[in-house]
Structure 1
């Protein structure tokens, strides 16, 4: 697996990120709302990222990125589809116009907020002629990392008996994660931006994977609790070498892959963050939340 640093494909990230935000914003407007915005999250598929089912006045539809064929597909319940190639040289503004026209053609017109969120620029989609890079090879390498992280996060998330999310893809900054909740609701701080305000209104511990389009600069696993207390964080010593705290716990993918058992190292990282956070936050019901599933073994291959 090739590890891409943000600087290696920044132009493509900044362009693809806007494409993905367009799709996420449709899900945000149309799917029935769930706590902490979970309904608006995207989902990993074998070939890319999808909204899953979106209800509408004209039936169900879904929007999916295919990073094998490099295309965006809008598919509805009648089998109608609209395909848009993902290719180099198409500006965000051009793609936005095409995307909206195909939505409307199929009968799913959706008015979305066109200013980027959680990004380092705020040019509205319809005016962004600057970002128009699409490096197919880089996208494929990135998606290989996504699939690897998804496998580990899915395994980690699965046995938790309390309220948790599936492994979601966050279209705001192109990271991926799963969240566990203690069951305690928090008072909403009205001074926070609306997205953040309603995204952190419950006590939680989050675990995920980020491509490094920030000050880290390279892909990494992360874990953190909310609400957080940096002073308490700094006292935590995780049993994994080369992990560190930078607003959240960081474990770079390169360091993880350098271990003798990367999958196990990543699992241990997530579990260590979970145990430390639940101790600091004094979670109740841990015995029931952590009770082993004790289900029958899965048969990967059936006998003939």
Structure 2
């Protein structure tokens, strides 16, 4: 595995060089995500289940349990999984030299010591084959690779949040979905969508029906789709002409198999201004979806710099 940083902290990480770590992290995030799923009340589009980019890794944010709350965080600086409970309890486990089965067993034991009762589905979702966690002996966690991936997420999360701030309509947080193992943010037109056909491996169709109940334009970062991962964007339902919409930024392309636009991460990383490269891609793909599907853009979009020099806030110079 090779990992390097450019001066602006956009790390290079080739997908084919960290596959064992990628697979391990995917399963580990599913295990932790299922703990959150088991305790948090349902929120539209499954917004109660994702993880979030933090200053050290990926966090669940607060999870309710009886009259307490707790959180769990993958720390990719010290390479531990930490748990903190509102009654003052805390514990952690090292991520190095662990199989998926060992991680599963040790995490459940750690929560048990803290008085957090857990009962989760023991198989992963949206992957094939779906090896039960307690039987999965795959190993291969590389701290350098995990750290580089987290720094990719930091950059993607930061820029996608800038994009998110330009929308006044219903818009999701920027969150990490452990099923598909990607960072995602969705904008909504306000209209209902046709029933989603489902079809994700080892995942009930009803899961996708809930996730895609309303018309949306979704974007994010996925550690696939390019040599170093890719930014993506798609719309559901997809309007006619979306794949061929004119004006696409350099380096972006429509993947007919995935039915989404991709911008290779390495294209953004190598650009003179990576932030602007990604923002141009996100604005193009959203604009194509909104224009072709007839969204009320005037009502839905907003200037994030609308309150300059008030309440102690000063926007960056244009």
TM-score norm. by structure 1 comes to 0.92
The answer for the alignment partner of 1:83 in structure 2 is 92
User: 1:234 deviation in Å?
Assistant: 2.5
Q: Please give the secondary structure, in 2, of the residue aligned with 1:17.
A: helix
Stretches of structure 1 lacking an aligned partner (at least 5 in a row): none
User: 1:211 deviation in Å?
Assistant: 0.8
Q: Please give the secondary structure, in 2, of the residue aligned with 1:277.
A: helix
Query: How do 1:87-236 residues align onto structure 2 when only pairs under 5 Å count?
Result: 87-88=96-97, 90-129=98-137, 131-189=138-196, 193-212=205-224, 216-229=226-239, 232-236=241-245
1:19 to 21, 28, 31: 28
Number of residues of Structure 1 aligned to a counterpart in Structure 2: 295
CA deviations over 1:203-261 (Å, ceiling 9, x no partner): 0001111111xx545311111111125x5223213431121001210001111222222
Please say if residues 18 and 92 of structure 1, whose CA atoms lie closer than 8 Å, have aligned partners that are also in contact: yes
- Once residues 6 and 277 of structure 1 are traced to their aligned partners in structure 2, the CA distance between those partners, rounded to angstroms, is 29
Please say if residues 58 and 107 of structure 1, whose CA atoms lie closer than 8 Å, have aligned partners that are also in contact: no
CA deviations over 1:254-291 (Å, ceiling 9, x no partner): 1122222221111011011111101111113x212213
Calculate the aligned-residue CA RMSD, in Å: 1.8
- Once residues 264 and 112 of structure 2 are traced to their aligned partners in structure 1, the CA distance between those partners, rounded to angstroms, is 42
Q: Please give the secondary structure, in 2, of the residue aligned with 1:39.
A: coil
Does residue 37 in structure 1 map to residue 46 in structure 2? yes
- Once residues 160 and 119 of structure 1 are traced to their aligned partners in structure 2, the CA distance between those partners, rounded to angstroms, is 33
Stretches of structure 2 lacking an aligned partner (at least 5 in a row): 6-10, 200-204
User: 1:191 deviation in Å?
Assistant: 6.2
Please say if residues 196 and 212 of structure 2, whose CA atoms lie closer than 8 Å, have aligned partners that are also in contact: no
User: 1:110 deviation in Å?
Assistant: 1.6
Q: Please give the secondary structure, in 1, of the residue aligned with 2:176.
A: strand
1:269 to 253, 257, 281: 281
Does residue 279 in structure 1 map to residue 288 in structure 2? no
User: 1:58 deviation in Å?
Assistant: 4.2
More deviation, 290-299/111-120: 290-299
CA deviations over 1:118-156 (Å, ceiling 9, x no partner): 224310001111x11110011111111111111111111
Structure 2 vs 1, CA of residues 170 and 191 (structure 1 numbering), >3 Å: closer, same or farther? closer
1:56 to 59, 65, 78: 65
Please say if residues 220 and 232 of structure 2, whose CA atoms lie closer than 8 Å, have aligned partners that are also in contact: yes
